[in-house]
Amino acid sequence: MSRVYNFSAGPAAIPDPVLARIKDDIPDWNGTGMSVMEVSHRSKEFVEAAAKAEQDLRDLLAIPDNYSVLFPQGGATLQFSMVPLNLSTEGQTVDYVLSGSWSKKAISEASKYCNVNVAADSSDQNFTYIPEESSWNRSKGAAYLHYCSNETIAGVEFPFIPDSGGAPLVSDMSSTLLSRPIDVSRFGVIYAGAQKNIGPAGITLVIVRKDLIGGARSWTPSLLDYSVYDKSDSMSNTPPVFTWYVAGLVFEYLKGLGGLVAVAKINERKAQKLYSAIDESSFYSNPVRKDCRSWMNVPFILQNPDLDAKFLSEALAAGFANLKGHRSVGGMRASIYNAMPEAGIDALISFMREFERVNG
């Protein structure tokens, strides 16, 4: 089959030029006579590639010098454990915002280690909005405030950076990171699984303020301790070399596009086009409050769910893959990360209009 427009929520599309480079680099990467899957993580070539990846990421996000960048495995889910184990002490109170399925999982995991206070909760309206900050119930002396900046399932994204009242601010940015500029200095920890805007699944980015490293509980498993990664440039054990390399290619590609200011303009335009097409139609709809709509994950439903299966099969035949909504909410979802070209949005909108014309 020729390449499709891949609307998967993750693992998600990877930019075509990055894939072409990966293909070219097999079976001889960088003049080593080996593919990058086969090189030692201690080799000069890989150590340089890993450091360049970090520097390119630092450039893209303007990460201040008092932040470390760590590359653990385990995705955002392992961070659900690592954050409380590194940033709080036994029984301490931590604040979490409950804004969807992912923050719910983060809360469940943190509850093993801390006294979790849910500072805000949008479950009353199926996670289709972000509660006004003035209504939040923050704890005094919380070890940190955690929120998920973009909930991929409901397609809701924070339109602001919360005020944590002095506590370190921690954010699961799996679906936001690299989609737009972020003021990293506002955060204690930012983390993201790779399989949205970064690269293949199997590596995680953790950007952590250095003063928050070193306080893990004494029994923390070594690979869940930020300081172990910080001291070893994330190579205390064998890192996922290939995945790290791909992430580096993606960072280089994004710099070549003009960095995150340029990327954000494209993403905003892509999202606005798709939301406008949905809003202008009475055949499709999106339930999320307009100021909280995700740039990255656009769920929509057909007014007549009996047409869902037909929509999906005709979409796939026309080259639009993975439009099925998450099983917990149904309907459709178009995830439109950085690697989704604007032409893919235009083509999807044309397809949706034609489907509506025929079936509406």
Point out which residues bind its own copies (CB under 8 A). 1-4, 6, 8-14, 16, 19-20, 22-23, 26-28, 31-35, 37-41, 43, 73-78, 80-82, 85, 109, 112-113, 193, 195, 199-203, 218-219, 221-224, 236-243, 246, 319, 321-322
Task: Give the three-state DSSP class for 168.
Answer: coil
Q: In the bound complex, what is the minimum distance in angstroms from residue 241's beta carbon to its own copies?
A: 5
Nearer to its own copies, 38 or 279 (CB): 38
Nearer to its own copies, 80 or 295 (CB): 80
102 is catalytic: yes
Task: Give the three-state DSSP class for 28.
Answer: coil
In angstroms, the CA 360 to CA 347 distance is 19
Nearer to its own copies, 191 or 283 (CB): 191
Which of 129, 120, 180, 119 lies closest to 151, judged by CA?
129
Catalytic hit among 29, 104, 196, 324: 196
24 is catalytic: no
Query: Quick check: 110 and 117 in contact, CB under 8 A?
Result: no
Polymer length in residues for the chain: 360
Nearer to its own copies, 168 or 202 (CB): 202
Nearer to its own copies, 24 or 306 (CB): 24
Question: Which two three-digit tokens encode residue 279?
Answer: 């809003």
Q: In the bound complex, what is the minimum distance in angstroms from residue 46's beta carbon to its own copies?
A: 9
Burial of 226 (0-12, 13-18, 19+ CB in 10 A): buried
295 is catalytic: no
Task: Give the three-state DSSP class for 29.
Answer: coil
Residue 354: CB atoms within 10 A of its CB come to 12
Catalytic hit among 25, 95, 121, 172: 172
Catalytic hit among 29, 95, 102, 225: 102
Q: In the bound complex, what is the minimum distance in angstroms from residue 14's beta carbon to its own copies?
A: 6
Q: In the bound complex, what is the minimum distance in angstroms from residue 121's beta carbon to its own copies?
A: 22
Q: In the bound complex, what is the minimum distance in angstroms from residue 210's beta carbon to its own copies?
A: 24
Classify the C-alpha dihedral 282-283-289-295 as positive or negative.
negative
In angstroms, the CA 178 to CA 85 distance is 26
Which residues are known catalytic residues? 102, 172, 196
